[in-house]
Amino acid sequence: MAISSDSSKQPLITKTLIKCMSCDYSIERDFQEGDFVPKLVGTCPKDGGKLYIAGIYAIKLQPQQAKR
């Protein structure tokens, strides 16, 4: 069937990107339920600025990661 050849069959993993409001600090972690843009999630370890969720997105799992 034509469907199985689709790239959408590739497994996706959802990530949450956290950024600092005052410096260039950013960290990517796995998505947790309750996350939303632009929720405040603590203070920056670098300069104590406010950390916020800048984005939630899905990335394709690398083949070697998918096998694990």
Partner 1 sequence: MLFDIFNIVAMAQGLGGSSSSEFLLTTILYIVFMGFIVASFFPGFQQKMQIGFLSRDVEKNLYMIEGYLKDSKSMAEKLLKDKNFPEPQQFINKVMERFVIDPVNIEPTDIISRMKLLLRANEDTVREMITKYSPNIDPMTRSQIEISAEVVNALNMIFKIIRHYLLMAKKLNSIMIMYQLQMVAPIYVKLAEAYARAQKVFLQGIPVGDGLGPLVASRFLMNINDKWVPSKDIIAGTMEFEGRRLIVVKAEGPMATVGTPGEAVQNIIEKEGSKVSRIITVDAALKLEGEDTGSIAEGMGVAMGDPGPEKIAIERVATKYNIPIDAVIVKMSMEEAITEMRKEVYDSADKVVNYVKDLIRERTKPGDSVVLVGVGNTAGIAQ
Phi-psi region of 30 (alpha: psi -120 to 50; beta: other; left: phi over 0): beta
Q: What is the C-alpha separation between 20 and 17, in angstroms, rounded?
A: 10
36 binds partner 1 (CB under 8 A): yes
The owner of tokens 């800048």 is 54
Among 9-17, 19-27, 31-39, 58-66, which window interacts with Zn ion (CB under 5 A)? 19-27
SS3 4: helix
Shortest distance, position 64 Cβ to partner 1, whole Å: 19
Residue 1 or 64 with smaller CB distance to partner 1: 1
Site residues, partner 1 (CB under 8 A): 1-3, 6, 8, 12, 14, 17, 31, 33-39, 52, 55-59
